[in-house]
Amino acid sequence: MPTRPEKAYYFGTCLIDLCYPQAGMAGIELLRREGIQVIYPRQQSCCGQPAYNSGFPEEARKVARQQLKAFPMDYPIIIPSGSCGGMLKHHYPKLFADQPEAAEAQRFAGRVFELTEFLVKVLNVRFEDRGQPIKVTWHSSCSALREMRVIEHSKSLLRQLQNVELIELQRERECCGFGGSFSVKQADLSSAMVADKVADIEQTGASLLLSGDCGCLMNIGGALKHRNSPIPAKHVAEFLLERTQ
């Protein structure tokens, strides 16, 4: 594990940029509060995963090259998403395997951390809960669970909050049905999957859904809203910041 760095890059992800900027800012604040000087390169955009998973590797590489360029220094790269993190850490080396940037992509991948992973493993944060008692439930994104393997870090942060009761889903390990373009290319399947996820969330009795991935939040949160459920969906960074301010 690297020692606590002075500076760290923040990769905001395109979805947070467009739809959940407050979640992105919360992540930055959590890092700054721990004394990290956060750098947000303005040249950054998307990790390239949408094209990569849809059968367009050339286009994915074009966008990925832009990220390699935008994060040139040797600082850790922190990402408030397991999915985009997985792309940078596990798929960039494959995407550039037979390209001139192969070695660069390897080094880049080695600097990638998911936000909660960084907070726990590198910064060893200690939170004091300042909020009212609340019951929350947690959705594990598949990439955070199986690629980045950071779910225990995310949950350990929630467990630090003494007034927060975490009620786990019955099928926490099951995909919510987002899958990027899957959600529209296989809309019926995706809808069936998210409907089951929503039912699981509702049976917990929790008043809030948390996750570390905005793709899942857009999907599940959108489905909750679509059926006028009173349960909001929130990124874990935003929640952690609110509770501890």
Partner 1 sequence: MTETTVDFPRNFQKALGDGQLRRNLRAAMDTLGLRRRTLFSDPEAFEQLRARGDAIRRRALSKLPELLERLERKCTENGIRVHWAETPAEANQICLDIIRRHDATRVIKGKSMVSEEMHLNHFLEERGIEALETDLGEYIIQLDHETPSHIIVPAIHKNRDQIARLFHEKIPNTPYTEVVEELNAIARKVLREKFFAGEVGVSGVNFAVAETGTLCLVENEGNGRMCTTAPPVHIAVMGLEKVVERLEDVPPLLRLLTGSATGQLITTYFNMITSPRKPDEKDGPREVHLVLLDNGRTKIWADPELRQTLKCIRCGTCLNHCPVYTRLGGHAYGYVYPGPIGSILTPQMEGLESAGTMATASTFCGACEEVCPVKIPITDILRRLRVESYNKADTPNAVKGHGYKVNAAESLTWKGWALSNATPWVNALNAKLLGLLGPQLPKLPGPDIVKKWTQSRALPPFAAKSLHALVKEKGIADE
Question: Restricting to residues 143-182, which ones interact with partner 1 according to CB under 8 A?
Answer: 143, 146-147, 173-175, 177-180, 182
Residue 89 Cβ vs partner 1, minimum distance, rounded to whole Å: 14
Contacting residue, 30, 119, 144, 223, with partner 1 by CB under 8 A: 223
Binding status of residue 131 toward partner 1 by CB under 8 A? no
Which of 111, 161 has the CB closer to partner 1? Answer: 111
> What whole-number distance in Å separates Cα of residue 208 and Cα of residue 216?
14
Phi-psi region of 22 (alpha: psi -120 to 50; beta: other; left: phi over 0): alpha
Residue 240 Cβ vs partner 1, minimum distance, rounded to whole Å: 17
Annotate each residue in 57-76 with x if it binds partner 1 (CB under 8 A) or - if it does not, as one string: xxxx-xx-xx------x---
Question: Restricting to residues 68-127, which ones interact with partner 1 according to CB under 8 A?
Answer: 73, 94
CA 109 from centroid of its chain's CA atoms: 16
Binding status of residue 53 toward partner 1 by CB under 8 A? yes
Q: Which residues pair with 241 in a beta bridge?
A: none
H or E element: which one contains 25? Answer: helix 21-33
Contacting residue, 5, 34, 38, 121, with partner 1 by CB under 8 A: 38
Q: What share of the chain is helix, strand, coil (3-state, %, to 5)?
A: 50, 15, 35
Distances (CA, A) of 82 to 17, 27, 100, 112, 154: 16, 13, 27, 11, 11
Binding status of residue 46 toward partner 1 by CB under 8 A? yes
Binding status of residue 33 toward partner 1 by CB under 8 A? no
> What whole-number distance in Å separates Cα of residue 175 and Cα of residue 194?
8
Annotate each residue in 175-214 with x if it binds partner 1 (CB under 8 A) or - if it does not, as one string: x-xxxx-xxxxxxxxxxxxxx-------------------
Number of shown-chain residues binding partner 1 (CB under 8 A): 73
